[in-house]
Amino acid sequence: MQAEYVIVGAGSAGCAMAARLSQAGRRVLVIEHGGSDWGPFINMPGALSYPMNMRRYDWGFRSEPEPHLGGRRMATPRGKVIGGSSSINGMIYVRGHARDFDHWRDEGAEGWGYADVLPYFKRMEHWHDGGHGGDPAWRGTDGPLHVTRGARMNPLVKAFVEAGVQAGYPRTDDYNGAQQEGFGPYDMTVWRGERWSAAKAYLKPALKQPNCELVRAFARRVVIEQGRAVGVEVERGGKVEVIRAEAEVILAASSINSPKLLMLSGIGPAAHLAEHGIPVVADRAGVGQNLQDHLELYVQYASAQPVSLYRYWNLLGKAYVGARWLFTRSGPGASNQFESAGFIRSDAGVDYPDIQFHFLPIAVRYDGQAAPEGHGFQAHVGPMRSPARGEITLKSADPAEAPRIFFNYMSEEQDWIDFRRCIRLTRELFRQEAFRPYVKHEIQPGDAAQSDEALDAVIREHAESAYHPCGTARMGRADDPRSVVDPECRVIGVDGLRLADSSIFPRITNGNLNAPSIMVGEKAADHILGRSPLPPVNMQPWVHPEWQTAQR
């Protein structure tokens, strides 16, 4: 069992690297603990609430009790399946704002500014605008990852964009293009009515080649000899064995499992490793630190008209949606139903959006429970750049034990200020003329919750993770003690070992994380192959001309 490159994790970044390395003629072996992504729950976009709640497809992680959220233990789904979290996520495609990547660069991730990453976003995409406008110069049209837009037939979906414009925000035809700020259609990783995961885009075509192999096994640790990674110790069929890497070992096991594997391999904060009796190979204080996520709340309304997706929320309706999708790959099941987006700035003086809206034309929870009121709609809202930082640590030296996940949500005063503002700005949207025919009453937070204290109580009880954990092995300068990987994704202090997934984000990006995670895999592949990165593309993104003095 050996190859030139051994990749741990067949997720968003791992699939991209496996494809690009094998296309370049390298022998690649991918280790994945999860099984097949075949089946209707994963492939039908409208069924997205199922796979992330299925033990078969999800690692089933939970956080430690979160002290600022009433001691709740938060669900932390991560994909344990071919395609990783791209096979169980909400399929929303957001690159992030140009300024996010310029911030990475300024934090020491040299060569990862927006001009540097834009060509990789273009290389990975096959964008279909669906006649909704947008400038193709900013987008890729022949990459492996199909990006499409929903049909946008539901009147509520259009009302949300109109309400944003009526409230004084700009309209944007393509938030992944020149202008993120504003309201417009969402992009999704759906193609011909099916989820288009990183596995379908990258891994499955690569596995058809003789030089790319997938092995189902549980990775226990990286084997390091004389300061060099030489393989991965795995458990397979009840036996422990080592898969050897002739050139490099590459971790792409998620922002939860990648730092766990580093620590089990002796790479991490020395004192923490010593607590668990793990010999120190490289003392890196940053491993497992800098954990970030997006927290959000559903602002829900009951609808005065029976226009929401609730009409399918019964046995007959679900049977119709399922059958139509199975036979024609069309209808409500062919969309993730997140078809209208909003990105706004919370205040004057904020230079680019720090609030994101996901609009949904039904009032429902992530676990699939519909609101008892019946017809309704909701906007998921939350701050994009929380100052709170958490950590991933080991509970023991046993690889089979899940790590300790502590997000430390809402631990800064600024978190509360920002979140209340999110709720109030969302309510203002639903007071616009466009929603007058539809708003019956507010379900959550509810009309009684007006004061800061009342809103804080709702946040404490009802805020949910948007499932965007990242940052636990941050990329930066090799001489920065906080850094875990250098700008070529090499783990600092160990030869022959790289890490490329959402762990390396110095700071969380604006929006959903699947697109930047795949981009990291695309760009890391060029570094691994020793190629010159794609030439920078210097296109100037739109920034609100009056951002210093105006909120909109």
Residue range 487-513, pLDDT digits in tens: 999 999 999 999 999 999 999 999 999
On average, the pLDDT of the chain sits at 97
State how far the Cα of 522 lies from the Cα of 118, in Å rounded to an integer: 11
Q: How confident is the model at residue 130 (pLDDT cuts 50, 70, 90)?
A: confident
pLDDT tens for each residue of 307-322: 999 999 999 999 999 9
pLDDT tens for each residue of 53-73: 899 999 999 999 999 999 999
Average pLDDT value for residue range 239-251: 98
State how far the Cα of 42 lies from the Cα of 52, in Å rounded to an integer: 9
Q: Are strands 376-383 and 355-360 parallel, antiparallel or unpaired?
A: antiparallel
Task: Please tell me which residue in 146, 468, 527, 544 is annotated as part of the active site.
Answer: 468
State how far the Cα of 294 lies from the Cα of 282, in Å rounded to an integer: 31
pLDDT tens for each residue of 211-222: 999 999 999 999
CATH numbers and ranges of domains, the chain: 1-66+75-146+188-290+470-537 (3.50.50.60), 151-185+295-383+410-462 (3.30.410.40)
User: Residue 365: what pLDDT?
Assistant: 79
User: Angle at the Cα of 503 (from 498 to 508), degrees rounded to 5?
Assistant: 140
Query: Is 537 marked within a binding site?
Result: no
Q: Are strands 125-127 and 145-149 parallel, antiparallel or unpaired?
A: parallel
Average pLDDT value for residue range 190-209: 98
Q: Residue 249, SS3?
A: strand
Q: How confident is the model at residue 367 (pLDDT cuts 50, 70, 90)?
A: confident
The amino acid occupying position 341 is A
**pTM (global) more than 0.85:** yes
User: Residue 196: what pLDDT?
Assistant: 98
User: Residue 370: what pLDDT?
Assistant: 82
| DSSP labels, 122-144 | HHHEEE--TTS---GGGS-BSSS
The pLDDT > 70 percentage for the chain reads 100
Q: Where are the beta strands (DSSP E) in 226-275?
A: 228-236, 239-251, 267-268
Q: Does residue 468 have an active-site annotation? A: yes
Q: What is the DSSP letter of 199?
A: I
Cβ atoms 137, 537 nearer than 8 A: no
Q: Which of 516, 510, 26 is nearest to 250 (CA)?
A: 26
pLDDT at 379 over 90: yes
pLDDT at 369 over 90: no
Omega prior to 170 cis, within 30 of 0 = no
Burial, 349: exposed, middle or buried (Cβ in 10 Å; 0-12, 13-18, 19+)? exposed
pLDDT at 377 over 90: yes
pLDDT at 108 over 80: yes
Main-chain dihedrals φ then ψ at residue 6, nearest 5 degrees: -110, 120
Q: How confident is the model at residue 133 (pLDDT cuts 50, 70, 90)?
A: confident
